[in-house]
Structure 1
Amino acid sequence: MNPALPPTPTTATSMSLRDVWLHLRLPFSQYLLPVCLFALTLPPGIASPDWGRVVWILVVIHVLMYPAANTFNSYYDRDEGSVNGLEAPPPVDRTLFWVSMGLEALALVGGVLINWQFVFFILVYGAFMKAYSHTAIRIKKRPVASWLLISTFQGGFVFLMTYVIVHNINLATVFQPGTWPAGVALGTLISTLNILALYPVTQVYQHAEDASRGDLTISRLMGVRGTFVNAWVCLVAAAVCFFVFYSGGWPFWLMAALLAPGLIYLALITARVWQDPTTATYRAAMWMTRLTGWGMNLFFLILLAGQ
Structure 2
Amino acid sequence: MITRSTLLHLRIPFSIFLMPVFCFAASQVEHLTWQMYFAVFVILHIFVYPASNGFNSFYDKDEGSIGGLKNPPKVKQDLLFTSLIFDVIGLFFSFLLVNWQFALLVFIYGMMSKAYSHPSIRLKKYAIGGWLTVGIFQGACTYLMCVLAFEKDFLTDFYGFEVLYKERHLFAAALISILLLGSYPMTQIYQHEEDAKRGDKTISLLLGIRGTFIFTILFFGIATAGFYFYFSTFQDEFYFWLFQAFLAPVLLYFVYWTIISWRDASQANFQRTMLLNVLSSLSMIAYFTIITLMK
What TM-score comes out, normalization by structure 2 length? Answer: 0.93
Superposition deviation, residue 67 in structure 1: 0.3
Q: Which residue of 2 aligns with 1:148?
A: 132
For structure 1, list consecutive stretches of 5 or more residues without a partner in the other structure.
Answer: 1-14
Partner of 1:137: 121
Q: What's the secondary structure of 1:80's corresponding residue?
A: coil
For residues 129-208 of structure 1, what are the structure 2 equivalents within 5 Å?
A: 129-168=113-152, 169-171=159-161, 173=162, 179-180=165-166, 182-208=167-193
Residue 216 of structure 1 and its aligned partner are, at CA, apart by 0.6
Secondary structure of the corresponding residue to residue 81 of structure 1? coil
Question: Which residue of structure 1 aligns with residue 76 of structure 2?
Answer: 93
Secondary structure of 1:252's counterpart equals helix
Render the CA deviation track for 1:190-217: whole Å, top value 9, x for unaligned: 1101111111111110011111111111
SS in 2 for 1:183: helix
> Is residue 2:210 matched to residue 1:225?
yes
Letter in 1 for 2:204: S
Give the partner amino acid of 2:243.
M
Distance 1:44 1:70 in 2: 32
Contact between 2:20 and 2:284, CA under 8 Å: does it hold in 1?
Answer: yes
Deviation at 1:293, TM superposition (A): 0.6
Q: Partners of 2:192 and 2:124 in 1: how far apart?
A: 13
Distance in 2 (alpha carbons) for counterparts of 1:255 and 1:18: 39
- 1:174 Cα offset (Å): 6.1
Q: Which residue is equivalent to 2:240?
A: 252
Which digits, 9 at most, give the CA deviation of each residue in 1:239-286, with x for residues without a partner? Answer: 111111111622111111111111111111111111121210000011
Alpha-carbon offset, residue 21 of structure 1:
2.0
Q: Is the 8 A contact 2:25 2:146 kept in 1?
A: yes
How far did residue 45 of structure 1 move? Answer: 4.1
Report what 1:264 is aligned to.
252
Counterpart check, 1:34 vs 2:20: yes
Q: C-alpha offsets along residues 125-173 of structure 1, whole Å, 9 cap, x if unaligned? A: 11101110001110001101110111100001100111112214312x4
Judging by fraction of residues, say which structure has more helix.
Answer: 2
Select which of 19, 30, 33 maps to 2:5: 19
Displacement after TM superposition at 1:18 (Å): 2.6
Within a 5 Å distance, the mapping from 1:2-151 to structure 2 comes to 17-46=3-32, 50-113=33-96, 114-151=98-135
Aligned residues of 2:21 and 2:142 also touching (Cα < 8 A): yes
Distance 1:16 1:123, change over 3 A: closer
Quote the sequence identity (%).
Answer: 37
TM-score by length of 1: 0.89
The 8 Å contact of residues 151 and 163 in structure 2, kept in 1 or not, is answered as: no
1:303 counterpart letter in structure 2: I
Q: What stretches of structure 1 move > 4 A for 4+ residues in a row?
A: none
Report the residue type matching 2:110 in the other structure: G
User: Aligned AA for 2:266?
Assistant: T
Distance across 1 between alignment mates of 2:275 and 2:3? 27
Q: Which runs of 5+ in 2 are unaligned?
A: 153-158
1:87 partner SS = coil
Please say if 1:280 is aligned against 2:268. yes
Q: How many residues align?
A: 285
Partner of 1:8: none
